[in-house]
Amino acid sequence: MANLFSNFTIKSYNIKNRVVLPPIVNFGWADKNGFVSEKHVKHYENIAKGGIGIIIVEVTCVLKNGRIFSYQPGIWNNEHIEGLKKITDACHRHGSIVLLQIHHAGLTTYKGVSDIVLGPSIDSENDHSSALTIEGIKVIEKAFIDAAIRALMAGFDGIELHGAHGYLLNQFANSAINKRTDEYGNSVSGRLKLATDIIKGIKQSCHANFIIGYRMGANSPTLLDGIEIGKQLEKTGIDILHVSHGGDKGIIPEIPANFPNNWIVYCGTELKKHVKIPIIVVNEISTPERASWLLENGMTDFVAIGRDLLTDNLWLQKAQTNKKINYCIHCQPLCKRFAKPESCPVTK
């Protein structure tokens, strides 16, 4: 029976425990050209010092004109490698495995970085949207593969494709958004063709030990669709599946009344029943008790602890020694880190 402290092997990596830092972007820390800063290096080193098994570094854009905001970290050019390498060195010094989340916002691209937003189909609520041509899709496919190669050069142990939260890969996967009738639409495999081709390209370009993770939107648009998406992704040969939500267009599933976590975690545990690859579940798991329950009952392979690891980087050590954790207080209406990481009331 697994617990928080059980190790796990992915490819030749020995992951020292079952706790993952999910990607959490640090607003205002990168510059307008996508370069990360010393603040990033210190931040991720601090998390690694807490003994976390896998650190997934925040949403990093593969193309300058595909960003969600203008100060998003980038990996569209070789000059980004040097700064990112400082992050991987810092995480490796403390024995964490470190992945980079790579991303394109698609239809939700920030207006300030592109006049026209591109996605699988036009967005009827956005006059500035346009459906990608095959040529345009190929440009994005290559940008993701090149980003993975750069991530490898920067010392990452692997990448996580951002296929959740309503961004480009999730827009393709979701039949409520993707209305294409060509090879990139029509069926689950068509809607996943871009992701599948990216994964194939990464496998051909990076060494066999490079981890390929995928963060999926479980309700895209329904959980039943999500299960089909997860099964299809497993066939592409990804190494780990991180189950989050599908953004605004996703339909929230009903969950059993006695399930002790929220519907996003529930979706992850449902996905676990349908695939053999390791699963990460996430969202408001917060406490070692809830995390342990999920692991000890075989409902997941990994638990991602986001905001509570940011408010207490010693979360795991305190879980082991039964010390009091400084929990996230769930600021309303929104986490204050969206405005500025330094404004978190628990850590400032």
Ligand X SMILES: Cc1cc2nc3c(=O)[nH]c(=O)nc-3n(C[C@H](O)[C@H](O)[C@H](O)COP(=O)(O)O)c2cc1C
Binding mask 266-305 for ligand SF4 (x = CB under 6 A): ----------------------------------------
Q: What is the DSSP letter of 138?
A: H
346 binds, among ligand X, ligand SF4, none (CB under 5 to 8 A by kind): ligand SF4
Q: How far is the CB of 330 from ligand SF4 (least distance, A)?
A: 5
Token output for 208 = 């066999």
Binding mask 309-328 for ligand SF4 (x = CB under 6 A): -xx----------------x
Q: Residue 315's closest CA among 50, 36, 40? A: 50
Q: Residue 149's closest CA among 88, 203, 216, 92? A: 203
**Residue 18 interacts with ligand X (CB under 6 A): yes or no:** no
Q: How far is the CB of 59 from ligand X (least distance, A)?
A: 3
- Out of 15, 16, 22, 220, the only residue in the binding site for ligand X (CB under 6 A) is 22
Question: Residue 304's beta-bridge partner residues?
Answer: 20
- Out of 16, 43, 86, 162, the only residue in the binding site for ligand X (CB under 6 A) is 162
Token output for 165 = 């939260």
162 binds, among ligand SF4, ligand X, none (CB under 5 to 8 A by kind): ligand X
Q: Based on CB atoms, which residue is closest to ligand X, 119 or 213?
A: 213
Residues 145-158: b if buried by 16+ CB within 10 A, e if exposed: bbbbbbbbebbbbb
Q: Which of residues 75-114 bind ligand X (CB under 6 A)?
A: 101
Q: Based on CB atoms, which residue is closest to ligand X, 26 or 180?
A: 26
**Residue 176 interacts with ligand SF4 (CB under 6 A): yes or no:** no
Is 214 considered catalytic here? no
CB within 8 A of 61, min separation 6: which ones? 34, 67, 68, 72, 73, 74, 75, 76, 102, 103, 104, 105
Q: How far is the CB of 331 from ligand SF4 (least distance, A)?
A: 3
Residue 133: alpha-carbon gap to chain centroid: 26
Q: Based on CB atoms, which residue is closest to ligand SF4, 19 or 140?
A: 19
Q: Which of residues 280-319 bind ligand X (CB under 6 A)?
A: 282-285, 305-307
- Out of 2, 10, 16, 23, the only residue in the binding site for ligand X (CB under 6 A) is 23
**Residue 215 interacts with ligand X (CB under 6 A): yes or no:** yes
24 binds, among ligand SF4, ligand X, none (CB under 5 to 8 A by kind): ligand X
17 binds, among ligand X, ligand SF4, none (CB under 5 to 8 A by kind): none
Token output for 111 = 């207006």
Q: Based on CB atoms, which residue is closest to ligand SF4, 42 or 330?
A: 330
**Residue 93 interacts with ligand SF4 (CB under 6 A): yes or no:** no
Q: Based on CB atoms, which residue is closest to ligand X, 86 or 165?
A: 165
Q: Residue 268's closest CA among 249, 289, 295? A: 295
- Are 13 and 97 contacting, i.e. CB atoms less than 8 angstroms apart? yes
- Please give the full DSSP string across 298-327, using - where no structure is assigned: TS-SEEE--HHHHH-TTHHHHHHHTPPP--
For β-strands 54-61 and 19-21, DSSP reports them as parallel
Per the listing, tokens 């925040």 go with 58
- Out of 41, 52, 59, 279, the only residue in the binding site for ligand X (CB under 6 A) is 59
- Note if the bond before 221 is cis, omega within 30 degrees: yes
For β-strands 211-217 and 158-163, DSSP reports them as parallel
Catalytic: which of 44, 71, 110, 167? 167
CA dihedral for 234, 240, 246, 252, sign (positive or negative): positive
The residues annotated with a catalytic role in the active site are: 167
Contact footprint for ligand SF4 (CB under 6 A): 307, 310-311, 328-331, 335-337, 344-346
